[in-house]
Structure 1
């Protein structure tokens, strides 16, 4: 298994210090990563930047573990949902240019008076349409367990089965299951045959005395991102399980805590490499 860091882990630094993707790639090389995970939200002038990024990846010999598309299929308008399909199709094209076979995708989130059934139907429809191009290009669309819809493993599993494409699988986010009160170990057992990408993440319950905003769970519990190993996720169970199924893909660190993200991500890399021995 290979270790990468999601560019999103450095989100606060990116905005505070106006980092570009090139700055992130230089950081990744400095801390000895095997590869990097890039996101669509950080392009300023995509067409101009991609050429520069591809050249930099080649010069640093850094492969891309996944390219993340920030889509949402839970929209009432058919036109809006069609735009989300185009967003994923564009993501597939970018992923090919970056040399990765994994595009991280979202499903969507419930809003207003929409029901789970409404949302699921739209998600399945959108992913089926997106899967056409994914199959043509042999690029995996990897659903991240994220938000109120497809936050639980059974929801991810059900959507994957309904889409019924060999190129629609799971980005298994080890921490996000805690936000919907599912134990990550149980979620792993449910999805172990469908994983093509892994987000290595951890959360802890926020201390009431802490002056910070965390992530509020579906039951109102406030969680705070932390360096993997300092939170509630049994990461050794996940790594052992991945070894059992002979997973040979990427483990991509996604840090969402309040400490210096560059320092925290580097520590996360050290801990993950120790677990992989």
Structure 2
């Protein structure tokens, strides 16, 4: 298994220091990573990204890294066909960018409930959209990796159900170790359900907010506030998941995603060291 870091893991530093893709890539090299996970909303060149993609790929190779995954920020839970077609187009475009970046993983979302929509409405649109995208993914041999995120695919059984309904060998799970806590599911149980579908891993941890803390955390479905931590300082049994991945002979990426309030550069470096220890 190889280790990368998600660009989102350095979101606070990127904002504070105005980092470009190139700055992020150089940081990843400094902390001895194998790869970088890039996000669609950090491009600066608008619709025509070809020149910027070339620059990024050259920088990745110059630093002895690879792109572990490319993340698309989509939402299929839209009420009109036109809106949902735009979300399909985002992922199809993401597949093209992933190919140009020489990665085989496109992280995708499903969507979230709003208004009077039901789970049944949302799931139907998600499956329909992913089926359309899966055709291109199969042609290009690129995996669409569904992250457990939000209300419509936050639980492992929801992710499993959607993967089975889409029924493509190129649609699997981005297993986010921390996000299950936001829907009050034990990550170990989620792993046992999804272990055969995992094609990409987000290595993340949360702790419960202490009373009196002024920090604004992520609010769970039951109103519990969770604060991002360096992996190992929170509630997730990361050793269980790493050992389980070894037992499954998982050969993919473990990508760190830190969402806490400490200095992101230091926190991610510490996360890399801890993950390397777990992998020994």
Instruction: Please state which band the TM-score falls in when normalised by the shorter chain.
Output: over 0.9
Partner of 2:229: 226
Q: Secondary structure at the match of 1:188?
A: helix
Q: Distance in 1 between matches of 2:16 and 2:178?
A: 25
Residue in structure 2 matched with residue 100 of structure 1 by the alignment: 103
Extract unaligned runs of 5+ from structure 2: none
- CA deviation vs aligned residue, 1:108-129 (integer Å, no higher than 9, x gap): 0000100000000000000000
Give the structure-2-normalised TM-score: 0.98
Question: Structure 1 CA distance, aligned partners of 2:51 and 2:3?
Answer: 28
1:1-16 to 2 correspondence within 5 Å? 1-16=1-16
SS in 2 for 1:147: coil
The structure 1 segments of at least 4 consecutive aligned residues displaced by more than 4 Å after TM superposition are none
Aligned residue runs from structure 1 range 24-103, under 5 A:
24-45=24-45, 46-103=49-106
Query: How many equivalent residue pairs?
Result: 277
**Counterparts of 1:209 and 1:165 in 2: how far apart (Å)?**
48
CA distance in 2, matches of 1:36, 1:55: 13
Q: Deviations over 1:17-51 (max 9, x none)?
A: 11100000000000000111001010010333111
Q: CA deviation at 1:210?
A: 1.1
Q: Secondary structure at the match of 1:103?
A: strand
Which residue in 2 is equivalent to 1:217? Answer: 220
- Which of residues 167, 171, 175 is equivalent to 2:170? 167
CA distance in 1, matches of 2:35, 2:153: 27
Distance 1:126 1:235 in 2: 32
- 1:129 corresponds to: 132
Partner-residue secondary structure (3-state), 2:136: helix
Give the CA RMSD over aligned residues: 0.6
User: Which residue, out of 147, 150, 153, partners 2:150?
Assistant: 147
Q: Pick from 189, 198, 205 the counterpart of residue 186 of structure 1.
A: 189
TM-score normalized by structure 1? 0.99
Aligned to 2:206: 203
TM superposition shift of 1:93: 0.5
Distance 1:101 1:61 in 2: 18
Quote how far apart the aligned CAs of 1:141 are. 0.1
1:238 is aligned to 241
Instruction: Please give the per-residue CA displacement for 1:60-92, whole angstroms capped at 9, x wherever unaligned.
Output: 121111100000000001001001111000000
SS at match of 1:134: helix
CA distance in 2, matches of 1:256, 1:49: 27
